[in-house]
Structure 1
């Protein structure tokens, strides 16, 4: 018990919980993996080089946002166009404002499930086995 007690004390520190206060995902690995698989889907074969690029790009976006790509373009002596810059700014603003209160999101999920159940009940009432109109 004395050997594992420090581990449990570390895991219950308030500083760890501060990462969850903003209402985003509590599983940062899942969020990061989502970014990787968004760039390199599991549904088809991807070579080692493509996976390396997907991981590198996902790391950049996860840590610093889409805007960091502009710095990479500059380092490669590529001048991004107006629409590329606008698109990157829009993606970042959507990512930042996309966080939703978990309670509101849960309520919306419940409402969608109720709406779907009601729709299914309406369809079942209209259908009669062997019935004629």
Structure 2
């Protein structure tokens, strides 16, 4: 299996998602701290409101972790699918593409199989794998 695309596509998607999540997480944290520092001493933040904001902070953190775990699970599933079709016959619904799969490249949006004759085909709807 050709995994060169796996590392680059996964690293790129994961780093973009992590960068965005970190930025959102850091921004939220900075806003929360700034709000607490600059509150009016004559009318401090209600403790219930403060607890609600801290709970939101915790939810944001858990959502980020959950998304990272789901990305890894999806990658693992895609790699298993890719490995399972190597050596098998791939055929398009219209019969224009047919052959034995020699390698598979994994991209963020799916799989591309390379057949024995060098033909590349997107593995998706309308393809039969035998």
The alignment's TM-score, normalised by the length of structure 1, stands at 0.30
TM-score (norm 2): 0.31
Please state which structure has a larger fraction of its residues in strand: 2
Structure (1 or 2) with the greater helix fraction? 1
Higher RCO (CA-CA < 8 Å; seq separation 6+): 2
